[in-house]
Amino acid sequence: MSGCIFCKIINKEIPKEFRFESDAVVAFDDISPSADVHILIVPKKHIREVGEVGDQDAELLIEVYKTVNKLVKANNLENNSYRVVVNGGFAQHVPHLHFHLLGGQWKKYV
């Protein structure tokens, strides 16, 4: 969607090093980390918010959580602590659905 910063990152209009990319999702470091590990997992499909997720997105959500799992392992977080956070309403600042993977010490709220 034009004007969406995450769509621009996904379409490579804004350069960004991806930690993971598949046909359906990308993952990259949060620009302002709230934890030792702070990675955003972003579906390539522009879904505005969690309230717009529908039955058609079931496979996509499975892929998101499989990506989380890969990143947990890649960052040795299984034996540390981690959280997956999805913000909504006034707590969401980028209007393109994304999942925060926060690992290790949490420094501030996302």
Which residues are at the interface with ligand AMP (CB under 6 A)?
A: 5, 30-32, 40, 87, 92-94, 110
CA-to-CA separations, 78 to 16, 51, 70, 74, 82, in angstroms, rounded: 26, 29, 11, 10, 8
24 contributes a contact to Zn ion by CB under 5 A: no
Q: Which of 19, 96, 98, 100 binds Zn ion (CB under 5 A)?
A: 96
Residue facing Zn ion at closest CB distance: 4
7 contributes a contact to Zn ion by CB under 5 A: yes
Tell me the closest approach of the beta carbon of residue 2 to ligand AMP, in angstroms.
Answer: 16
DSSP-derived secondary structure letter, 94? S
Cα–Cα distance, 3 to 18 (Å, whole number): 20
